[in-house]
């Protein structure tokens, strides 16, 4: 639980390197999942039960609670997406990669 109490802000620009999202320094980028503060405990339990415990929790400037999940290889991201408690999400969509949300994939 100590890791869950770490609250810090960080922004990064994602790039793709070796099948992982990485920032400009080549470090893997964690997944961020926003919930309303009153849904934090339920979202944490939901993720822990599915093997994806948050590594940290932050509060954003809009009053939302952001669960930070460890960086995963691209081939594991579909499993994480299936494990996310979408019914508790404070956001409407999920963004993966460095493209703007809901844009078609290149060469698709």
Q: Which CATH number fits domain 3-88: 2.60.40, 3.90.1200, 1.10.1740, 3.30.70?
A: 3.30.70
DSSP state of 42: H
- Tens of pLDDT along 23-82? 555 577 899 999 999 999 999 999 999 999 999 999 999 899 999 999 998 889 899 999
> Residue 64 has what pLDDT?
94
How far from chain centre, in Å, is Cα 20? 13
Higher-pLDDT residue of 60, 94? 60
Q: What's the whole-number mean pLDDT along residues 89-99?
A: 69
Could you tell me the CA-to-CA distances from 9 to 58, 67, 74, 80 in Å, in that order? 7, 12, 24, 22
Compute the distance between CA of residue 43 and CA of residue 33 in angstroms, rounded to an integer: 9
| pTM for the whole structure | 0.64
């Amino acid at each position: 639980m100590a890791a869950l109490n770490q609250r810090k802000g960080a922004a990064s620009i994602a790039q793709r390197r070796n099948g992982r999202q990485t920032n400009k320094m080549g470090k893997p980028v964690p997944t961020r999942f926003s919930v309303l503060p009153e849904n934090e405990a339920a979202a944490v339990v939901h993720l822990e039960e599915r093997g994806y415990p948050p590594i940290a929790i932050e509060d954003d400037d809009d009053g939302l609670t952001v669960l930070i999940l460890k960086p995963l290889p691209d081939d594991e991201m579909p499993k994480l997406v299936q494990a996310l408690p979408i019914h508790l999400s404070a956001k409407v969509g999920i963004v993966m990669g460095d493209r703007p949300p809901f844009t078609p994939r290149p060469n698709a």
